[in-house]
Amino acid sequence: MTDITKTDVLIVGAGPVGLFAVFELGLFDMKCHLIDILDRPGGQCAELYPEKPIYDIPGWPSISAQGLVDKLLEQIAPFKPDFTYNRMVSSLEKLEDGGFRVTTDENEVFEAKVVVIAAGGGSFQPKRPPIPGIEPYEGKSVFYSVRRMEDFRGHDLVIVGGGDSALDWTLNLQPVAKSVTLVHRRPEFRAAPDSVNKMYAMQEMKQLAFRVGQVTGLAGADGKLSSAVIKGPDGDVEVPCTRMLPFFGLTMKLGPIAEWGLNLHENLIPVDTEKFQTSVPGIFAVGDINWYPGKLKLILSGFHEVALMAQAAKRIISPGERIVFQYTTSSTSLQKKLGVVET
């Protein structure tokens, strides 16, 4: 029997809206656990535009997207949320006692009284690289992440890309693979200079090959790769290749959410604007993933949504308890929760 992690509220997605949900739920004493497929919090802000300034966060004339994420983490710290990263929430089922069971792609099981879907534009997944005819090789010879380094032992490995993932795996898999060829369309990289220098040093010593170019074709049969064609400045070369790791960044895909039995509206989850509840009572949807008349995909709208959602969630978790409206400026009980007054 697998261990079951229990929590009051399970939040799918640790983007800015999922993070602020922890605050609003925390003010009502609800404990949260967040799951995200990324390896860190922040959703789009952290993954797509960490250094860009945002100008429409109330009270912040300008704040970088990563700066906002850092501030949110500081703000929710008193509520001690739990995080599970690098996991995709794959299923969501209703339990007989009214709660929910959530399972990840690695079969971890969570049970919660309330589920909040703050999944934004969907889960971040690796982009399929622009290589014609790649589909039949995916999952057999072409992989978008490294789960076990052993899977690459003794293989002719081609790694495509110019960021940190491409460089890190080039360096880490070099001792394991039979051969490593790194392919990038130009000699400049978006990776840590230290890794780039190491890679060039290993190339000098003929421990790996770096080729400037783009992969334009693949050869093999039944999902088993045998070689790759690289178009470079001096024309096409064919290199032996039995495993390929392309790193072309991430894109957002709705993913398994479509199979959770919720009503959808053009890949978004319709909610009411009083509770931000989905078609299944006890499951809420906030932030970019939801839809209602007039919806705007703004961080500020998501923040408003979680404040109202928290009231409705409290009514489910503590039925019959009176909900008192309080300000954080003047309520000692809220300030105790925030740890800003002596308890």
Ligand X SMILES: Cc1cc2nc3c(=O)[nH]c(=O)nc-3n(C[C@H](O)[C@H](O)[C@H](O)COP(=O)(O)OP(=O)(O)OC[C@H]3O[C@@H](n4cnc5c(N)ncnc54)[C@H](O)[C@@H]3O)c2cc1C
Q: Give whichever of 15 and 282 is closer to ligand X, judged by the CB atom.
A: 15
In 3D space, the residue among 279, 295, 296, 2 whose CA is nearest the CA of residue 117 turns out to be 279
Rg (CA), the chain: 24
* Residue 247 backbone class (left: φ over 0; alpha: ψ -120 to 50; beta: rest): beta
* 143 labelled binding-site residue: no
* 211 lies in the site for another protein, by CB under 8 A: no
Asked if 55 and 111 touch (Cβ cutoff 8 Å), the reply is no
d(CA 287, CA 271): 11
* 163 lies in the site for another protein, by CB under 8 A: yes
Give the residue carrying structure tokens 């079969």.
Answer: 107
Residue 218, amino acid: L
Q: Give whichever of 81 and 121 is closer to another protein, judged by the CB atom.
A: 121
Q: Which does 54 bind (CB under 5 to 8 A by kind): another protein, ligand X, none?
A: ligand X
d(CA 275, CA 306): 9
- Minimum CB separation of residue 301 from ligand X in Å reads 8
d(CA 302, CA 283): 16
What are 323's two structure tokens?
Answer: 């909900």
Segment interacting with another protein, rule: CB under 8 A, options 78-86, 243-251, 260-268, 282-290: 243-251
* 66 labelled binding-site residue: no
* 311 labelled binding-site residue: no
Q: Which does 26 bind (CB under 5 to 8 A by kind): ligand X, another protein, none?
A: none
- Minimum CB separation of residue 298 from ligand X in Å reads 4
Q: Which does 188 bind (CB under 5 to 8 A by kind): ligand X, another protein, none?
A: another protein
Residues 102, 105, 110: CA angle, nearest 5 degrees: 25
d(CA 194, CA 15): 30
* 162 lies in the site for another protein, by CB under 8 A: yes
* 36 labelled binding-site residue: yes
* 210 lies in the site for another protein, by CB under 8 A: no
Residue from the set 130, 133, 223, 339 that interacts with another protein by CB under 8 A: 130
* 190 lies in the site for another protein, by CB under 8 A: yes
The residue whose Cβ lies closest to ligand X is 120
In 3D space, the residue among 271, 254, 258, 280 whose CA is nearest the CA of residue 309 turns out to be 271
- Minimum CB separation of residue 316 from another protein in Å reads 36
Q: Which residues of this chain interact with another protein, rule CB under 8 A? A: 48-49, 52, 127, 130, 161-163, 184-186, 188, 190, 214, 248-249, 251
- Which residues are known binding-site members for FAD? 36, 44, 49, 89, 124, 288, 329
